[in-house]
Structures are given as C-alpha cells and as structure tokens.
C-alpha cells in the first residue's frame, strides 16, 4: 500500500511539474520545507533581469577618449504568491514539499490586481492635511504598485500575455515623492510672531531679542536661520501675551523707619503655537505661566519675568523641532 501511494504521489508530482510552475523544498521541519519550496518557486518565475547597455566615456590628460559598453543587471524578487498548492511527502528525516502554481490561479491574480488598482485610486483621491502624511500616502501607493508588478511577473510565468492595467506608474509617484522631499528639505527659517502683544511694545522687542539670543546656539547647530522676514519664515512661532499683571505691595516699615518701598510682582500668561509651513501642521503648542518679584522697579520685574517666559518658549521650540525631525 505504501509503495502504491508513492507511485501515485510520484505520478501527481510529475504531472504537476510539467503542467504548472513548481518549487521544491526538502528540510527537517514542514515549515522550513515549505519556505524553501516557495523560495525556489520564486526563483522559477519572479526574477526579472533588466540588461541596460550604457556607454562609459573616459578622457585622459591628452584628450584621448575611449568608450566602454557594459551590462547593468537588476534583480527583482517576488515577495508574495496567491493560490499556491503544497504537495507534501513525509520522509524518514524530514519533509519533501512541492509548491505549485496552476494556470487556473490566473483569475485570482487578475481579481487581486483590480482590487489593488481600486485601492490606489482611492488613496490618490485623498487630500492629506500635510506633506508628511502626503509622503506616507505615496509610499503606500508605491508598495501597492510593487505588489501589482509582482503579480504581473507571476501571470507572465503562468503564460498570461494580455496587457495588465496599472492606473498610475511607479515613476510618476516617485516624482511626486521627490517633489515633497525637496520641500521637506528646505532650510528652516524661524520667525517669531507676537500676535497679542504687551501694551508697551518695547517689551515685545525685549522678548524677541532675548529669545533670539537663547535660540542662537541651537539654531546654528541645527541648520536653522532666525529671520525677521515673516514671508520668508517657514517655522512660525506664534506668541500671545494673554495676561500681564504687575502688582506692588505697600512700603515696609520697621520702628517707623521705611525698610522697603514695596515689592513688585509680575505674572505673565503666554500661549505659544509652533507651526511648520513646510508640512502644513502645528508641531508644538503650550500655555506658560511665570511669576517674578523685584524690589527695584516695575520695569525690572517685567523684564525678569520676560526672561523666564523666553526660557520656557525656547524649550518648547527646541522640543518641537527635535521631536518632529523629518526623516526622508
């Protein structure tokens, strides 16, 4: 009976090998044998070899030139199969496996290609809110197009010769990605925009100067230019002075002798929003509250508190730009 089964298995395997595309695997475990069979199946039909002739011209010091023609080889391997049938033979020390693709699987691939094209069309019609998401969308589309390309190779291997539609070319999507990456790689120009300001505009200037001074080292080491040109700025730090209260306590006396003219206390509440125009998105925002005291003057206490606010804004700008570093 065992011999009969072997004969039948041998007969089936040979018919399969000649009628379809087959990959062979022989390993200790069934899982390993299947993997090897799939690899060999891929080697049968999914390796595309592009031979591109190119001419290399060499010019020496005497202006003599020579030409050299070479072959450039590109290999592309299929990553996924559909409809694979496994024929398994248990051996004494392992498994023998045949991974088989049948021409009857052609409709399966054509149907999957239609679904992938529909998915690509849907994604391309989505308007993303910023460039980073647009970039991810195009990367997903390229992945789907590569899957279609894999299926086209398989269909060719199965003898399907009709033209297979791709609603967009990989080259076009790659060009779109390149344009996005150019925008994302633009030099960063940081502009401080005080929207809701101090009543005394001199304090606005004081805040901007102190903030620029604190940011200078970080900017120089991170390819950032601090600009006073709002149009040129692509990293916009929007600052709103929501609350600015200065109070003074009564003079302090001891034994009828004035010890102090009083203590000035300033409270500031500031809202900041950091907007990256390159990606069209807010990359940082925070409400900041600080308090300062001084016995010197109202001007002194406000400036001391502005320095505190400036330090906090500086931290948030650094955090936003470091957290949202764009990886191309």
Please write the tens of the pLDDT for every residue from 230-241.
Answer: 889 989 999 998
How many domains are contained in the chain?
3
- Based on the domain organization, do 148 and 194 belong to the same domain? no
Q: Which of these, 18, 14, 17, 23, lies nearest to 42 by C-alpha position?
A: 23
| 213 plus 295 within the same structural domain | yes
For residue 328, tell me if it sits in a domain: no
Other Cβ atoms within 10 Å of 117 Cβ, number: 18
Q: What's the pLDDT at 165?
A: 80
Mean pLDDT of 18-22: 69
Residue scoring higher pLDDT (47 or 182)? 182
Q: What is the pLDDT of residues 74-121, one digit of tens each?
A: 334 567 888 889 999 999 889 999 999 888 899 999 999 999 999 999
Give the C-alpha separation, 173 to 140, whole Å. Answer: 10
Q: Are residues 209 and 290 in the same domain?
A: yes
Report the distance separating Cα 84 and Cα 3, nearest Å. 27
Whether 272 has a pLDDT exceeding 90, the answer reads yes
The residues facing 98 across adjacent strands are 24, 87
Same domain, 159 and 199: no
- Domain residues for 277? 188-323
Q: Which of 29-33, 50-54, 194-198, 236-240 has the lowest mean pLDDT?
A: 50-54
- Cα dihedral across residues 9, 15, 17, 20: positive or negative: negative
Same domain, 84 and 194: no
Residue that is last in its domain, among 151, 166, 184:
184
Residues 174, 199, single domain; the answer is no
Please check whether residues 311 and 296 belong to one and the same domain.
yes
Q: Which of 136, 169, 184 is the last residue of a domain?
A: 184
The percentage of the chain sitting over the pLDDT mark of 70, rounded to a whole number, equals 81
Whether residue 208 sits in one domain with residue 129: no
* 159 and 203 co-located in one domain: no
Domain contains 195? yes
Q: What per-residue confidence (pLDDT) applies to 271?
A: 93
The answer on 255 and 158 residing in a single domain is: no
Residues 134 and 231 in one domain: no
203 and 305 share one domain: yes
Q: What is the mean pLDDT of the segment spanning 255-278?
A: 85
Boundary-marking domain end, from 101, 124, 157: 101
């Amino acid at each position: 009976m065992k011999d009969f089964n072997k004969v039948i298995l041998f007969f089936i395997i040979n018919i399969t090998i000649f009628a379809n595309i087959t990959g062979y695997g022989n390993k200790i475990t069934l899982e390993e044998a299947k993997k090897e069979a799939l690899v060999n199946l891929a080697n049968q039909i999914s390796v595309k070899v592009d031979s591109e002739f190119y001419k290399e011209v060499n010019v020496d010091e005497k202006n003599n030139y020579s030409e050299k023609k070479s072959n450039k080889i590109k290999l592309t391997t299929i990553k996924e199969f559909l409809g694979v049938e496994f024929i398994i033979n248990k051996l004494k020390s392992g498994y023998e496996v045949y991974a088989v693709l049948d021409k009857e699987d052609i409709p399966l691939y054509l149907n999957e290609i239609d679904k992938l094209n529909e998915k690509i069309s849907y994604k391309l019609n989505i308007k993303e809110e910023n460039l980073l998401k647009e970039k991810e969308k195009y990367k997903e589309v390229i992945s789907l197009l590569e899957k279609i390309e894999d299926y086209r190779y398989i269909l060719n291997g199965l003898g399907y010769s009709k033209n297979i539609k791709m609603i967009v070319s990989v080259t076009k999507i790659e060009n779109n990605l390149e344009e996005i990456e150019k925008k994302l790689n633009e030099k960063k120009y940081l502009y401080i925009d005080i929207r809701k300001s101090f009543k005394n505009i001199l304090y606005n200037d004081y805040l901007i100067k102190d903030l620029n001074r604190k940011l200078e080292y970080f900017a120089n080491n991170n390819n950032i230019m601090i600009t006073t040109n709002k149009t040129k700025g692509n990293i916009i730090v929007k600052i709103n002075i929501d609350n600015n209260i200065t109070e003074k306590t009564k003079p302090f006396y001891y034994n009828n002798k004035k010890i102090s003219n009083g203590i000035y206390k300033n409270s500031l509440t500031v809202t900041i929003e950091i907007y990256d125009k390159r990606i069209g998105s807010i990359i940082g925002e925070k409400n900041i509250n600080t308090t300062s005291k001084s016995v010197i003057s109202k001007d002194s206490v406000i400036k001391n508190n502005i320095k505190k606010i400036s330090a906090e804004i500086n931290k948030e700008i650094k955090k936003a730009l470091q957290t949202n570093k764009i990886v191309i």
